[in-house]
Every structure is written in structure tokens, then in C-alpha cells.
Amino acid sequence: MSVAEGFSRRAVLAGGAAAIGAVAVPGRGTVIRLPEVRSASGHYIGSFVDDPAASGRVLAHRFAGIRYARAARFSAPVPVVSRAAMAEQAPGFGPACPQAGRAYQPQSEDCLFLNVWTPPSGAGGLPVMVYFHGGAYMTGSVTDPLNDGAMLAARGQVVVVTVNHRLNALGYLYMPDAFPDSGNAGQLDLICALEWVQANIADFGGNPANVTLFGQSGGGAKIATLMAMPAAKGLFHKAITMSGQQVTASGPRNAGRRAEAFLTRLRGGPDPLQTPPDPLQTPARVPVAALLDALFAEDPVLGGRVYFGPVVDMRHLHRHPFWPDAPAQSAEIPMLLGNTVAETRAFYPADGKVLKGLDFGNLAERIGPEMRVDLEPGWVVAEFRRHYPEASPVELFHRIVTPARSWRGQIEEAEARARGGRGNTFVYQLNFENAQHTDDIGLVFGTTAALSPARARMSATMLDCFARFARTGDPGWPAYTLERRATMVFDTVSEVVDNPRAWERELFARVPYVQPGT
């Protein structure tokens, strides 16, 4: 009998929280031992994930809510070690970092938890794939159902790890005098999680000498930044960035201006005339709700809400991640970079102020501030209309803003790597169903909702390529070079295309690239 037969996944999860290491099968008088791992950092109890395609069969083992560290506010994380079963393990997923909005619940500053999925076979020496979530550096959580690692672990025969860490001001508020680690605390969390992986993942069946980082949007940007952080060297061996780049990080001057804008709002409070005796210490004492309110301060660099991200603080990050060149410390690491063909469809609702009432008469005016590059908008529109004469205003908007705002950073990173001549950089573009930002997450994890036959095939193709890359460092197509620019275009029929959208790349290459927010 399968260990999953005769009881639901929910019962197993509940039993895992209530009875250490075992769960009773209702009506059977049987006790099933839950997955259990003893490793250097702790004693962890897992649960069974049922295979949705085969009743009674286990798809994967899941070890959720593993604490990897604790951290005082604005300080570097401290790893944890325990010996008692589940002493450092939440009964389910750990909380998300406090953030604006209520999309991810619960939230807590005590958010340094990770999750592990393994194939049920118990095999050892498997590739390890560690996922960092998106949401820029401001929001997000790996508790999103799209990030469930069961299918990827099972089909790819890999060990999957997903990580939560500190975000926004809690992870990146730059106050070097009072809190020397504050500007990159969120990155230090990720490094601490990777140290946990190195120390423990072999006991889960993973190979600590074959660790691949992958992340979408902000997750990819966090990976690009780690590739230039000395403390991260040797903790991972391959990297995949999905619509997420970090060519330049925030300099200390702009990071300081943002900190001051944030602190000014924070100090406003009920009595704006009252000055704290030690203003720099105030953010360490106030309730987290006050910190979240201060996130609505106006950004002195970009406008809109204040932005936080990694800082070239010369303590943990000594250079920009991919400027003026690719970081030498990670030159030997195979890297796979990807984007979606219509990224910006995810950012602009049809009834929002940017697209509502859009026509050819106001298209240039509307794209101007959205391109994030200093090119004459009317000329850009004319060039795109010449190449896409049948396109509607809305289609042209996305065709223009996607390469200007979203694709450009990936090109900068891929070309910087290609100039190094190592032959270990690979590029993909997701065209399937006119893909927008985030569409590749569910396809890679095998969690895309409403899987039509075509989506199921696309998901299997992408998942298999990612798992192959994690295993070998080769996704199955030629490396990216400046001469050829070979790119795997994932679509109903996937194929390698040399130098796709060449004229769009060349058009926006007329102006220097400055990463928004830095």
C-alpha cells in the first residue's frame, strides 16, 4: 500500500504538526512514519504531497517552515541550530516579511524560514534548486502557490528549496552609522540560507556541490547581486534569472536620500514637532506598522513610493553587480537568463490611467515616462509603427515599453558575460501565449492553473530545460555569444533563434542603460 493511500494530504499535514514523526491512518489502526531528516542544523519532520495524477501515490516529500536564522531588526542574521524534533520548524510555511498589502499572510518580522521538497525515492546526490521570489525588494513570498516545489522536484529529480527573507526597509534601509549591515540585510539573509543549504542539504538527498539559484523578477535581481557579493562566493554553482536583473545597485548617496525620506515620514507621527532624542535609533523601536506606513514616503530619486534595494556599501557589496563588467568572482558559474516577450502586459491594466483612452495621438506622450530611457518618444513610436504597421496602439505600447524598460537589463548582463568568452551563458525568451511578466513561474514549477494540453507541454518543456541546466550547466541549446546571440524561444513550437528582435535591441542601445532605482 502507498504511504499516501487512505488519508488526505490535509490529514498528514495536521498529523505532522501534532504528532512528531508519525500520523495515524483513520479507521486502519495504522501509524505511518512521516518523512524525517536529522542534519547539522536540526531535526525536521516532513509531510507527503499526493500526486494529483495518481490517487494514492506520493509525488514528493515536503519539509516546510524550516527556520534558518533569526535576526534583530536591521542587523545581520544569526544561524540557528537545534536538536529536538521541529524545535526550529513552523507547523506550516513560515510567515512572509511584513510588507504593504495583505496578499501574503501571515506576516512577521520573524520570517527567516525556508522550505524543502524532495523526490520520494530517497535518492542522494541530486541537484539542488534554490528559489528566490519576486516582488522587487519590496514585497512577495515563496508561500505563493505558484512556488510549490513538489512537481519540479518529482519530474526534475531535484531537491527544491524556497526561501523567505527580509524585504523593503526591514531588509534594505541604509543606515550605516547606526546599523552597519542594514543596507544589505536582506541579501545577508539569502547568504545565510545558502549556508544552511551547504550544511544540511545532503541529508535531504541534495548535492551541496551542485546548487543552482533561480528566481523571477526581484528574485533574479537578488541572484545577480549575489554574484558580486564576496560572502556568497562558493555557495552556489549555477544561476537562472527569469525577467530579473541588477546591472547597477543603489549608490550610498541615493540610498541615503531614500533613508532620509523614509525617516522623515516615520518621524512625522501624531506630533510632528516632537524630535526623538536619537532619531537614527527610532526605526529600531517603533512598531512594524509604523515602518510599513513610512514605505509610502515619496522616493526622492524616482518619484512614487520609496524604493529599497541592495546598496554598494563597501562592506558587503563592493561593486555594481554587472557594471562596468560581469563580476569576475562568478565568471565560471553557468548562467541562464530569460525574459518574456510582453513583460509589461502584467503592469498596466486595460482600464488604468496609462492605457485607458490610448490612441495613436497620445501614444508618444504615454510611453515617454514608462520607457525609463531618455529617447524622443515620437521618434520611437514612428520606428515601431514602421516595423509593426498593423499593430494597435495598445500592442505598440507593450512592444515599445517591454524592451525599453524590462528587456534591456537582461541584454546588458548577457552581453557582459559573453564578453568574458567563457561560453557558459545561455538565454531564453518566452513567447508562449504572448507571455507577460510572471508567466514563466508556473510553467517552470509545473503549477500553472488550468493546464490546457498546450500549457502542459510548454510547462514540461521549460521544467525539463531548467532541471537539465541544474544538473549539467547546459540547458540544451548553444551558448550566447556577441556574434550569434543564440536564444531559445519557448513557444508552441520552441526553437533557437539567432539575435531575435535585433532592431529593437539596437534601437534602445543608442542610449546608456541606467537601472531604475539606482
298 and 162 within one domain: yes
CB-based burial of residue 190 (10 Å sphere; 0-12 exposed, 13-18 middle, 19+ buried)?
A: buried
At 84 the pLDDT is 84
The alpha carbon dihedral of 401, 403, 408, 410 has a sign of: positive
Q: Is residue 207 part of a domain?
A: yes
Please confirm whether the linkage preceding 106 is cis (ω < 30° from 0): yes
13 and 156 within one domain: no
CB 92 within 8 A of CB 115: no
HEC assignment per residue over 24-72: EECCCCEEEECCEEEECCEEEECEEEECCCCCCCEEEEEEEEEECEECC
At 17 the pLDDT is 35
283 and 135 within one domain: yes
41 and 30 within one domain: no
Q: Is residue 340 part of a domain?
A: no
87 and 15 within one domain: no
The region, left, alpha or beta by phi > 0 then psi within -120 to 50, assigned to residue 426 is beta
40 and 96 within one domain: yes
Dist CA 8 CA 212 (whole Å): 32
399 and 262 within one domain: no
Q: How far apart are the first and last CA of the chain?
A: 57
DSSP 491-509: SSS-EEEESTTHHHHHHHT
The alpha carbon dihedral of 28, 30, 35, 36 has a sign of: positive
At 354 the pLDDT is 97
* 511: amino acid identity, one letter: V
Per the structure, the count of domains in the chain is 3
| Mean pLDDT, 10 residues at a time, the chain of 518 residues | 34 40 58 89 95 89 98 97 87 94 95 98 95 97 96 98 98 97 98 98 98 98 98 98 96 96 83 50 87 96 94 98 97 98 96 96 96 94 97 98 95 97 97 97 92 93 98 98 98 98 96 83
142 and 117 within one domain: yes
At 2 the pLDDT is 34
Dist CA 424 CA 481 (whole Å): 10
159 and 256 within one domain: yes
Dist CA 202 CA 467 (whole Å): 18
Please confirm whether the linkage preceding 324 is cis (ω < 30° from 0): yes
327 and 198 within one domain: yes
354 and 298 within one domain: no
Q: Kind and range of the H or E element at 339?
A: strand 335-340
Dist CA 516 CA 8 (whole Å): 47
Provide the CA 418 distance to its chain's centre, in angstroms.
23
- CA count, 13 A, side-chain hemisphere, 97: 30
Question: Residue 228 belongs to what domain range?
Answer: 36-333
187 and 213 within one domain: yes
CATH number for the domain harbouring residue 132: 3.40.50.1820
At 56 the pLDDT is 84
